[in-house]
């Protein structure tokens, strides 16, 4: 890919046109500046220290669900300075930073997959092309549409994985988890790599974000890590098709919240049995999939862990699935690039991400609050969950070829 002498100008032009198209859409279209989550970041964080941070809602463009500030208090500390700037300026810079971060993610992914070969000129060209493609994948599209933070958090995790410094890796992951809890799953990655110090450092760094938040606003920090931290319904409607977690998919198939509390012999069980059972199944599959990888395949191990996090989280909005771009890179260039079925797996994710199946199905969703829906729509709404189950199963199935492949054989042609 991208090996012709004139490929770099073409790749750069594609990326430039993609950025220009996104910028024009943002500035000129009627809904381009909606950026609902960025509004929450900017104006919600402005309430920091007032005692009303978690009472804030943004409803200008979301009348059916006024968006609350659902992030740890440390996120408000990070975002607080933004409210002093004109929102349009923040939005434009945010878009450009997302593009830069996405390119960095692609470059780091290639380094983890290809090793020293990633420094060859052709791979810089390839990175431009993949970044241009990545901007049109549905998770990144919606991240830009909402003004979300997902790509930045993914970059922090990728930098942590690449670094050999335990304290730096732990600091990056702990700080990222302080902004949004989802990157905390990376601690499991450190354990798979026996990076014990990095795992401990990430927990300490996360605790430090809580401590700093407590110093700045103790009441709001207690509120978040008290009644709010386990309330998935406050984050949004669990059954909406935008929720591509295991709990969301099961809820749409069953017709009710699969993770809701239930009664057993007079005792209240905090989580639904179907959800808990499938979380166990997915966790077992993830362990088996990780064991099927080459021992030095850091990128493969990271993807297995991140996909597990997306599956077991109560809420994994479609824009959380930005990890599909590194997944496509690993399937294309990684050590299993010649394995039987790899093109099917890669094709599944590419088509799904380009079309944006959750986005298409959202037009058939009469309301974000209604869980029960026709069976065909419910199963189609499980595309990401089915994809992860298929990916894990494929990795386990290819285990028999593990010792027949050279662990260090990467793309050289």
Tokens describing residue 352: 């799904």
For 243, the domain range is 238-413
Cβ atoms of 339 and 398 within 8 Å: the answer is yes
Cα gap 108→124, rounded to integer Å: 11
- pLDDT recorded at residue 68: 93
Q: Are strands 262-264 and 267-269 parallel, antiparallel or unpaired?
A: antiparallel
Tokens in use for 242?
């935008």
Q: Are 148 and 319 in contact (CB under 8 A)?
A: yes
Q: Is residue 358 part of a domain?
A: yes
The pLDDT tens digits for 88-111 are 999 999 999 999 999 999 999 999
Domain assignment present for residue 66? The answer is: no
Residue in 29, 17, 27, 4 with CA at minimum distance from that of residue 131: 17
* Distances, alpha carbon 241 to alpha carbons 20, 59, 175, in Å: 30, 20, 30
Q: Is residue 403 part of a domain?
A: yes
**Is residue 147 situated within a structural domain?**
no
Domains held by the chain: number = 1
- Any domain includes 339: yes
pLDDT value of residue 146: 96
Nearest Cα to Cα of residue 181 among 288, 352, 313: 313
pLDDT tens-digit series, residues 268-284: 777 888 999 999 999 99
Rounded to whole angstroms, how far apart are CA atoms 358 and 78?
30
Angle (CA) 182 185 187, round 5°: 135
Residue 189 included in any domain: no
Q: Is the dihedral of CA 290, 294, 297, 303 positive or negative?
A: negative
Distance CA 260, CA 251 (A): 10
DSSP state of 293: S
pLDDT at site 277: 94
| 87-114 vs 121-134: helix crossing angle, rounded to 10 | 130
Say which DSSP state 230 is in. T
Query: CA-CA distance, 150 to 306, in Å (whole number)?
Result: 13
Give the closest residue to 396 by CA, choosing from 321, 351, 341: 341
What local confidence, expressed as pLDDT, does residue 373 receive?
84
Structural domain includes residue 367: yes
Token readout for 223 is: 């509120």
Residue-level pLDDT at 393: 97
Mean pLDDT by 10 residues, the chain (413 residues): 70 95 93 94 94 92 87 97 96 98 98 95 95 97 96 98 97 98 97 97 98 96 89 84 96 91 75 92 97 95 98 96 98 95 97 95 87 90 97 92 49 42
Residue 291 lies in a domain: yes
Query: 144: alpha, beta or left, given left = phi > 0 and alpha = psi -120 to 50?
Result: alpha
171 close to 205: Cβ distance less than 8 angstroms: yes
Helix (H) or strand (E) holding 248: helix 246-254
């Amino acid at each position: 890919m991208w090996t012709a002498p004139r490929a770099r100008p073409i790749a750069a032009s594609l990326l430039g046109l993609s950025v220009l198209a996104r910028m024009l859409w943002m500035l000129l279209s009627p809904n381009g500046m909606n950026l609902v989550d960025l509004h929450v970041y900017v104006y919600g964080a402005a309430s920091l220290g007032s005692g009303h941070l978690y009472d804030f809602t943004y409803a200008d463009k979301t009348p059916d669900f006024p968006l609350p500030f659902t992030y740890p208090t440390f996120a408000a500390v990070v975002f607080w300075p933004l409210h002093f700037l004109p929102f349009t300026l923040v939005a434009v810079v945010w878009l450009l930073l997302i593009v830069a971060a996405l390119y960095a993610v692609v470059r780091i992914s290639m380094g983890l997959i290809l090793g020293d070969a990633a420094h060859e000129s052709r791979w810089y060209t390839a990175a431009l092309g993949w970044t241009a493609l990545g901007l049109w994948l549905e998770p990144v599209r919606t991240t830009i549409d909402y003004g979300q933070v997902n790509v930045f958090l993914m970059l922090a995790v990728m930098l942590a994985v690449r670094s050999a410094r335990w304290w730096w890796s732990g600091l990056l992951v702990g700080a990222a988890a302080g902004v949004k809890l989802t990157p905390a799953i990376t601690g499991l990655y450190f354990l798979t790599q026996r990076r014990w110090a990095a795992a401990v450092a990430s927990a300490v760094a996360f605790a430090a974000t809580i401590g700093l938040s407590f110093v700045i606003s103790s009441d709001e920090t207690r509120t978040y890590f008290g009644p709010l931290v386990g309330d998935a319904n406050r984050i949004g409607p669990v059954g909406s098709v935008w929720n591509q977690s295991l709990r969301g998919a099961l809820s749409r198939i069953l017709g009710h919240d699969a993770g809701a509390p239930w009664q057993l012999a007079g005792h209240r069980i905090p989580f639904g049995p179907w959800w808990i059972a499938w979380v166990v199944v997915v966790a077992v599959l993830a362990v088996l999939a990780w064991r099927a990888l080459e021992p030095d395949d850091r990128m493969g191990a990271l993807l297995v862990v991140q996909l597990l996090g997306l599956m077991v989280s109560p809420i994994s909005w479609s824009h959380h699935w930005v990890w599909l771009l590194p997944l496509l890179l690993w399937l294309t260039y990684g050590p299993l690039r010649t394995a039987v079925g790899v093109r099917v797996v890669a094709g599944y994710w590419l088509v799904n991400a380009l079309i944006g199946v959750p986005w298409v199905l959202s037009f058939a969703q009469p309301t974000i609050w209604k869980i029960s829906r026709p069976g065909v729509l419910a199963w189609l709404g499980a595309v990401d969950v089915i994809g992860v189950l298929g990916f894990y199963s494929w990795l386990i199935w290819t285990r028999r070829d593990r010792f027949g492949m050279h662990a260090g054989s990467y793309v050289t042609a």
